[in-house]
Structure 1
Amino acid sequence: MGTRLGLLLSGVVAHTLGVDPDEVEVVLGDTQATPFGTGLWGSRGAVMCGGAAAHAAEKLKRKVLQMASHLLECSVEDVEIRDGRVFVRDNSGKGLAFAEIAMKAYNEPYLFPEETDVALEAAAVYDPPNISRKPDENGRMNAVAAVSTAAAAVFVELDLETLAVRPLKIVFVENGGRYVDPSNVDDQLVGGIVQGLGALYEEVVYQDGTPQTTTLADYLIPTSVEIPSIKLEHIISPSPYTFMGLKGVGETGTIPVMAAVSNAVEDALRRAGFKKRIRASSLAPHKIWGL
């Protein structure tokens, strides 16, 4: 999906288990190995998958601590995880690596009490409290736990002879939740902002029912040549309804930029003495001419 969800999930699991993110492998793209899901629409990847991963990691953490306390001959309340090892809290330095615990669990399960579940695996379902399963009397339902919001200001230059539009600068302020990986959030937002600039170029053209824009030579998308200066700012407001206060940002960059581009072109036309209302994209020169 381009969201680097695997990176986020490895960070969530690593934080919960107390290990290095490099030690967490996330397997993506195999629908035969995972339960059915409805997808990542609505920027739900971080919220839903992150919450489920954290709950599963918490279950696994309890198993690890339980088995480690038995091997270290102490109470489970007296052990803690630091840097991928389970230590006794008395600062004696006595501890076990995760690999050592796993080796004992799978090769010497008789070392543990009979009621111990030695399978070092866990599964979890994450169900945010504000998700609704059924439409209300007005046909409305809340299918997304939390999304971020944003405002965009786009500055453009309009050539009155050719009607070509050149984006000059974009200022984008995003109201997001708590970030697991801030650099990943910025990358997603910039990618979405550039997609929003596609309102200037992208157009699906048909002739007698046959699509004409079937290659990137015909269907134009923004490239590095067209991308202007982009300034990002963040307002952090964690969601009260999600794990860690996460919010989805996958689609946030695109939506306001498309509208802001149209408004900027309208303003440029108005300054030139043409009061036109833009109600559709694309904003290619021939489209502006036909307003």
Structure 2
Amino acid sequence: MKWVRFQAPGVEAAYGILEGEIIHQIEGSMMGEYKKNGETFARKDVKLLVPCEPTKIFCIGANYVAHIKELGMEIPDRPSTFMKPITCAIANGENVVIPEEATRVDYEGELGIVIKNVVKRATPEEAKNSILGVTACNDVTERDLMKWPFQLTYGKSFDTFAPIGPFIDTEIDPDDTIVRTYLNGEKMQEDYTSKTVFKPSVLLSYLSQVITFYPGDIIMTGTPYNVQPMKDGDVVEIEIEGMGERLVNTVYDPKVHT
């Protein structure tokens, strides 16, 4: 199933099920009980929003083995974690805006998991059963600011630095798929989620020992090797194998347009 959150004429924000090119609006919650309310919309006539409403966005650093080797690091014995504020989140088709103080802004294509219920001190098995589905994410990073001591979150938290979407897919196995990133049509990243150190259920279980997760919260599960910078006008596409559609965002640098 493909869940979307959308705007349409007469509809400020609603959830629906995407079937082909038709969106079926629902009543209730995609996290629990729901039903189609009989309203349908053509995909081309709506604006897709960030596909859920998270209270928090957690991210994982250095999780793909090839990326860890690329960085010259040792395989970690526990996840490296940080957060992005909700103000980072943008939808499919919206612009990633280069901040004024930026000197290098990188893409980081990632698989995101969406949480479907309250999770606190969960076992990995309990955590696995608490994942609604997956979505494509871009952990946009101002690389030079991030290099300051203890500034990981600072360099990753500018507005628009968390593209998410275009929808949530409930049928993809997050432990066994492929993440790809394209820059202006050229494939830049590709790796198997099976080649990560910490699988999504382990990540959610680990974090839930400290943090309570709520429905709609997101964990970005790390990026593959070959992170590169972006510039004004670049088009970045994040693909999760099996989703059938990419997350697409254009980079906009206000300095170039003044």
State the TM-score, normalizing by the size of structure 2: 0.29
Q: Going by fraction, where is strand more abundant, 1 or 2?
A: 2
Structure 1 or 2, whichever has the larger Rg, is 1
Q: Going by fraction, where is helix more abundant, 1 or 2?
A: 1
